[in-house]
Chain A
Amino acid sequence: MAKLDLLQGTLDLLILKTLALGPQHGWGISQRIQQISENVLRVNQGSLYPALQRLDTAGWIESEWGASENNRQAKFYKLTKKGERQLKEETAQWERMTLAVQRILDVETT
């Protein structure tokens, strides 16, 4: 099965969700998204960084330099309070949308 391209806007949601599990650096986020989605989703790894910057500017995440697992300097991102609210909102929105899409698809098949 071919890997799926990420829908516009969903990357932000995935990043927020990933960071909800704990602080993580950029590479770690990309790995985790791939693991969780069981290698179905293809994230162009580089496109992660503009997204991170965007979320940072919006104040949903914040960053800090720290030591990585193999003791190297890495920039760690972490969810802010504002980010947690945003995650809830976006999750709810996502669910509403998928539900709606699902309904339409159901109608089509009957």
Chain B
Amino acid sequence: MWKRLNALIRHGDLDRGLNAEVRFHLEMETEKNIKLGMSPDEARLKALRSFGPMEKHKEETRDARGVSWIETLLADLRYGGRALLKHPGYALLAILTLGLGIGANTAIFSVINGVLLKPLPYEHGDRLVVVQQSRPLSGQPQVGVAIAEYFDYRERGKDVFDGLVEYHQMNFDLINRGEPDRVNTGVVSANFFDLLGIKPILGRSFVAEDDVIGAEAVLLLSHTYWRQKFGGDPNIVGQVFEMNDRPHRVIGVLPNVPHYPQENDVYMPVLACPFRARAEGQVASNRRAFGALNVFGRLKEGVSAEQAASAVGAICHTFTEDNKQVYRPETSGFRATTVPVRDALTSGARELLLILLGITGLVLLIACANVANLTLARMLGRDRELAMRTALGAGRSRLVRQLLTESTLLAVCSGIVGVAFAYGTIGMLTRFVGRFTSRTGEIGLDPMVLMFTLGVSILTGILFGTLPALGSRVDLVAALKQGGSQAGDATRRKRIQGALIVAQVAVSVMLLVGAGLLLASFFRLQRVETGYRSDGVLSAQIFGNFSRYPTIVEQRALYVPVLERIQALPGVSAAAITNAVPLGGAATPGAIRFQIEGKANDDPERLPTADVRVATPQYFATIGVPMISGRVFNDLDSEESLRVVVINKAMTKYWDGVDPVGSRIALPTAPLPGTTTPRLAWYSIVGIVGDVRQFGLAQETVAQAYVPLTQTPFGVAGQILVRTAGDPASFANQLRSTVYAVDPNQPVENIQTLDDLRSEALAAPRLTATLLGVFAALALLVTLAGIGGVIATSVQQRTKEFGLRMALGARRGSVLTMVVRQGLTLVLIGLAVGVAGALVAGRVLSAYLYQTAPRDPLIFAGVAALFVLSGIIACLIPARRATTVDPLIALRAE
């Protein structure tokens, strides 16, 4: 190795040495020949002849030194750089085309890397699993873990888990020097952070002693919250803040690591959460108490995910069999399994990301094909140069290597453009992916991504360089002869060009069909009948903290005065308190089981279910939900009056065509004080209203029942809805000050117009459609340019032929038709291939389509028509040149 490096560095020296050596050899040989009696000239000639081809031997000697490939590469790079600079237009176009393709792939890969590939940033992240319970037979894919169930898993799962921890999220008011601040609070087992291997940067983590009833309430702050709210105060540990009417002492600050499953501002131990602590006392009487936990575990070393899943399944089987009256396993199918945390976090984004990667891969292929075509066209002009190089002794492999070096150089330049492109778009992509997974914190252009880009660039260079290089077999004599330059490889090149065009068209068609499907689906989704009017309505959350508003009685004392004041404001036409903001973020409807009078059912798993919401009298008027029959609530529906309920149209299905108005349903109500047994309360149906798409535009409305605020037994996370005469957004300050007038310590959050919420609900499909639309448009443009380019070259080559034809009396029209037909044939073949491909591949999109079949014939027809038309235009432009040829000039041209 040293010798090789030395040889490279001392390259000049060694070459001089070799020359001297050869000179010495020839002189000696000449002298010998003179001694043998030859004349000096004759002696020298003989010596040269017996030496053989001198340059060949020198070249071989250099090769034997073993550095020649580096030298060759450097020379090729220099030469390639010069060649590209000589054709800046070609270079720029190629670099931009490929740069976009590589950039799109880099951006998508950086997301895939950050979301799907990187191990979780925790100790033994690959061994973390989450327990998932479900009631498949009751149509509930996810059931939170209850305290008693968690205890069972923890006690009986010791063989498979190093540890099992619980987590749930709450919102509490933290009083920071008089200012109420509503914080996202992670409520976790004391060993939660130990299990994840997270050590606080200040202070200490939770210990078992923190997690007992009566212990001093302690908090851990997240890094972000500490920086933002306390300016990174190094003396934060030990400070005391009020939360839930108790002093809470800060014992530590977490490092800057991503939080899973949710980002939180502060963390507290399990029993510091008043709700969780209260529920712990009910475990003995209620197995399903506090059924809202997330349970994580770390597998013991050597335990497989399958073993853990079956162990958890078995524990679940045991406790459901032991408590049949609670779980009713026969009718609910209650079961449990484990899923790796990483999969659970990213399952919503995986498929979409892979689809996007596939799409960007296709775009890159098109870009490659196009640049290959550009390069081929350029090769036409380089025939003579290549022939010259062949004549000077360059072998075929040497020529191919030179061409490949050039294309790789081009591709690496494109890679740099691509990284810049990815850098610019990664933020937007991250926000987009954030709609499908919470794991977006680790997306970035890290070394892994850059390696990927480099790899893709080099591969791209080889890919688009190989085809033209294969066409570089040079017919020496023909090429060197002036005017014979088009003889040699024209047919083969044409064939390669044709194949490239067909491939480009096929791929573009697939992308266009995909984009068309998504766009059609998006427009349908946008025009979906939502059942309410979103214009002119402002919404906000005023959720009274439980410590000051523990039950619905106190909450009404907050909500009702606020509502009355707002309704009295000028410009307000209607306002309501509810917990049912359409498209307000809740993704799944509730499924409250209820009894219908006269249709008694003893098996709770077979009871009808409905999503039960709370509303005040003006709710339906505020958001414009039409009344179908009966009446809505009025001020006479009070705590003491007859309990009433309004149902939506979807819910009438339970009455089999009989008018439900006047009949009664029984809904669960609060247990009597001192007991935990749920009770039922009967409500009379007084009215039927229209269906509202409350949980998603694409989600069919479920049965919904509305209970008046005055008659609900449960606490309500209050939402205000206000219909205003003017711009609702400008009403935000008035809304806030009205709430503060009633309670100056009540935070007002999530102030948003219903229009914004609706637009937000469309954001993900809009972005998906836009993204694919942009890619497809790019692909179409690039492909059309490719078709135009190929036709233009072919027209140029056939100038003489066209001149001849026209001289012999061919009309312009027929020449035009001939040229267009040539291009259109390629388009049609590509179209056929592309349509076949789209028919097969379209299925992967079906999860993202709303009321649009992946084989929607209208979309396919539209794409085909678009392609045929634009293909004809792309051919016509260069074809017109063929008809403007003056026969005389054309014939004289060569």
Contacts and interface: CB of A to CB of B under 8 A. Distances in A.
Contact of A46 (B3, B20, B52): B52
A81 B263 CA distance: 70
Nearest to B64: A53
A57 B21 contact: no
B61 interface: yes
A26 B21 CA distance: 8
A45 B21 contact: no
Interface string A11-33: 00000000000000111001100
A51 B54 CA distance: 14
A73 B64 CA distance: 23
A31 B35 CA distance: 15
Contacts of A109: none
B51 interface: yes
A53 B65 contact: yes
A27 B24 CA distance: 8
A82 interface: no
Contact of B28 (A27, A49, A54): A27
Contact of B18 (A27, A44, A49, A74): A49
Chain B residues touching A, range? 20 to 34
Interface in B19-39: 20-22, 24-25, 27-29, 32
B591 to A, nearest CB: 79
A56 B54 CA distance: 20
B64 A27 contact: no
Interface in B45-59: 50-54, 56-58
Chain A residues touching B, range? 20 to 34
A31 B28 CA distance: 10
A49 B61 contact: yes
B66 interface: yes
A68 interface: yes
Contacts of A59: 3
B659 interface: no
B17 interface: yes
Interface string A47-74: 1011111101101000001001000111
B60 interface: yes
A87 to B, nearest CB: 19
A99 to B, nearest CB: 31
B47 to A, nearest CB: 8
Given A27-B29, A54-B64, A57-B65, A73 B52 contact: no
B24 A47 contact: no
B63 interface: yes
A105 B196 CA distance: 78
Contacts of B60: 47, 49-50
Contacts of B29: 27, 45
Contact of B24 (A25, A50, A54): A25
Interface string B64-92: 11100000000000000000000000000
10 cross-chain pairs, A with B, having the tightest CB-CB distances, nearest first: A46-B57, A50-B60, A53-B64, A46-B52, A27-B28, A44-B52, A54-B64, A46-B51, A27-B25, A50-B61
Interface of B: 3-4, 17-18, 20-22, 24-25, 27-29, 32, 50-54, 56-58, 60-61, 63-66
Given A49-B22, A53-B64, 14 more contacts: A26-B21, A27-B25, A46-B53, A46-B56, A47-B57, A49-B57, A49-B58, A57-B3, A65-B17, A68-B24, A73-B24, A74-B21, A74-B24, A75-B20
